[in-house]
Chains A and B, each alone.
Chain A
């Protein structure tokens, strides 16, 4: 049962990711990316990580993609012009991407075959993936990272404002 859900969500994710690339107009790409994010959120749900799934939808599909759509509409980006530049870029990109894919898959297969931890632990932490457990860990073991992340967000805000200002 779970497998079927997984397959459906996986196919949707891959297809929408491919469609992100092979579109002429950026706005369509953005929309397909939203779809991709949502399917990934679904996969999170499948993995008992509710909190992260919701976070994914709120932050990625909600904040980031809206931001990107704003920018696309603001700059009134047209499609790509057809001028051909870098000669071998396309060829080499395909080549090396396939190579990368090969290595990644190989690496994961290798890792899995090495480790004995296959299958699912029938024993699960209670409320695995829930907010309560999440918050407990976040504010005890990873408190420093949390604080630093807030500073990072502040810096990013300042940076965005600085860059976005209209220079006289």
Chain B
């Protein structure tokens, strides 16, 4: 079965071709069938791949399959080939699974939209690109997938391109991404220059041998690669595109900006764990940026009123958690959180989409409320997802987040872990604020819309329910057994285990089991406290938040306006660039270059108009000119 790995990639691509090129001749039913069916086959194949992988013993779980050579030029060879190991098998399962669910959801959500088949073509293309990214076995192919998901993100964010804000958001996403991709590209070039090859296995085996631990080269490589991850996974300072990306359809936000594309950066760092383990400076950088982003984004989410923006900042914050895990060396924990986050964040977005859809496009929470009675299924799935996000036992998020915080505590000490715990508190607060504002209390919905509120159609509800189930039970693959390991950790261990003696692993301070359980209890109580506080603020005393905002107006404004970062970037970067370009256009190109060309032409014209007057047509004038010329010649010889 492992030989047929290309099936996973082929079918989504087929879906793109059929839906993209022949949509005019197909019925809506057929489009649905093709797009969902191809992803379904992909998902099925992923399952079979996982199964085949599990048949092998842990040491053998690394399989490479080459399809065909792509570039052969002198010494440089680039092959289209795939790597199947626990990490990539897990990723394709998550990607194809969540993608499949979201495709089904989209059938209901995008009903009646003008660009229906275009949407599904883009969605299939995105799935294909993401699968390519995680399946490739060399940096070049991953880079292709990396760029392709960026492209699809642009296409899908700006899907309703006739809206100015949507196309602007698409551009912003692509451009900010590009800045990260620039670093990423430089990193890959540096890898090639150092190792003369781009194949993962080759690079990871040679790195400990030919590069010094903590040396400049390896630090440079890892930092550059991380720059790409910063852009793609929306960390500080390149996160500004993600909140604006909410202009796209909600299923797009769910798939791309919650579950899959933004996790590409996390995947990449995890994949190149060997290189990062050799560069402690980069690991620190990853950890620092991760934890700072986590608390920063969570603080902004506290004051936002747009339901999707809250979820966007929540995504940024959770990605920060994942990078925090990677930064301290807990790679398996980071990937575990990636998986659980995919489930509950996708669910959160899809459920929010259900609410938005029913309210006719309304996204402002200030205009919602009291939806609990009208949309019960949506409400309950929302609750499940929120509990998972907040990290409440026994839902998925509890296990993954707790594992991260424990690893941080053990390997880095109380300060960093403390920031993580505060962020967990903020997380549960803002997500339950969202729930209470949307579903509880007096309905603040506009009169006209109130008649149309009822539950969404099944095609939307079933995906919600499926994801809710997963959010509930997915955590159990990570339950720590008494010995300190867990199923998923053990499964992923071979990937991160490419240890050669010289690689240093951050020291694990052994603590007793009792401390671990105590830690678990604390990390459970903090979010619960957050829920209670949110309840008090938004259900018991609804006037309290407003009073608080009036008491500390500066702080409220700062959070509400996202720390004015967008304005800051505009001032520092965007406007100077625009003005420079404007200067070069108006000042230089038009004035100087066009002026030069035009003036030369008109100069010649004026000159010729002057000199043509010599041709009078009178013979006597010409005779006179001849005499003059003759005199000149004589004068020359005379005075020599």
Q: Direct A–B touching in the complex (beta carbon < 8 Å)?
A: yes
A97 at interface by CB-CB < 8 Å:
yes
Q: Which of B616, B618, B620, B627 contacts A100 (CB 8 A)?
A: B627
Does the CB pair B631–A103 fall under 8 Å? yes
Q: Chain B residues with Cβ under 8 A from A86's Cβ? A: 616, 618, 620-621
Measured CB to CB, the nearest residue on chain A to B627 is A96
Contacts of A97 in B (CB 8 A): 627
Known: A86-B618, A89-B624. A100 touches B638 (CB 8 A): no
Instruction: Flag if A96 contacts B628 (CB, 8 Å).
Output: yes
Q: Is A99 interfacial (CB 8 A cutoff)?
A: yes
Interface of B is mostly: helix
For the complex, what is the distance from the CA of A97 to the CA of B630, rounded to whole Å?
11
User: Which B residues are in CB contact (< 8 Å) with A89?
Assistant: 620-621, 624
Question: Is there a chain B Cβ closer than 8 Å to A62's Cβ?
Answer: no
Q: Is A92 an interface residue (CB 8 A)?
A: yes
Chain A nearest CB from B530 CB (Å) reads 104
Q: Which of A85, A96, A97 has the most CB of B within 10 A?
A: A96
Verify B638–A93 contact, CB threshold 8 A. Answer: no
What distance in Å separates the Cβ of A123 from its nearest Cβ neighbour in chain B? Answer: 33
Contacting B at CB under 8 A, from A77-113, are: 85-86, 89, 92-93, 96-97, 99-100, 103-104, 106-107, 110
With A and B bound together, what is the CA distance between A46 and B53 in angstroms?
Answer: 131
Please give, as numbers and ranges, the residues of chain A lying within 8 Å of B618 by CB-CB distance: 85-86
> Does B572 reach chain A (CB closer than 8 Å)?
no
Q: Kindly state the separation between the CA atoms of A97 and B627 in the bound complex, as whole angstroms.
A: 8
Interface residue from B620, B621, B628, B635 paired with A103 (Cβ < 8 Å): B635
Q: How far is the CA of A100 from the CA of B638 in the complex (A)?
A: 12
Q: Which residues of B contact A85 (CB under 8 A)?
A: 618
What's the tally of chain A residues with a CB closer than 8 Å to chain B? Answer: 14
Kindly state whether residue B634 has any CB partner on chain A within 8 Å.
Answer: yes
Chain A nearest CB from B618 CB (Å) reads 6
Contact with A99, one of B616, B620, B621, B631 (Cβ below 8 angstroms): B631
Task: Provide the B587-622 mask, 1 if CB < 8 A to any CB of A, else 0.
Answer: 000000000000000000000000000001010110
In the bound complex, residues from chain A placing their C-beta under 8 Å from that of B620 are 86, 89
Contacts A86-B618, A96-B631 hold; do A103 and B624 have CB atoms under 8 A apart?
Answer: no
- A93-B628 Cα distance, complex, nearest whole Å: 10
A86 to B616, CA, bound (A): 10
A76 to B634, CA, bound (A): 40
Take A86-B620, A86-B621 as given contacts and tell me if A103 and B627 are in contact as well, using a CB distance cutoff of 8 Å.
Answer: no
* Residue of chain A at shortest CB distance from B628: A96
In the complex, chain B residues whose CB is within 8 Å of the CB of A110: 638
Which partner residue on chain B sits nearest A97 by CB separation? B627
Of A85, A100, A110, which is in contact with the most chain B CB atoms at under 10 Å from its CB?
A100
CB <8 Å contact, A107 and B638: yes
Nearest neighbor of B623 in chain A, beta-carbon distance: A93
Chain B residues within CB distance 8 Å of chain A: 616, 618, 620-621, 624, 627-628, 630-631, 634-635, 638
Chain A residues packing against B (C-beta within 8 Å): 85-86, 89, 92-93, 96-97, 99-100, 103-104, 106-107, 110
Going nearest first, the 8 A-B pairs with the smallest beta carbon separation are A103-B634, A96-B627, A99-B631, A89-B620, A100-B631, A86-B618, A92-B624, A96-B628
12 contacts between A and B (CB under 8 A): A86-B620, A86-B621, A89-B621, A89-B624, A92-B624, A93-B624, A96-B631, A99-B631, A100-B634, A103-B631, A103-B638, A104-B634
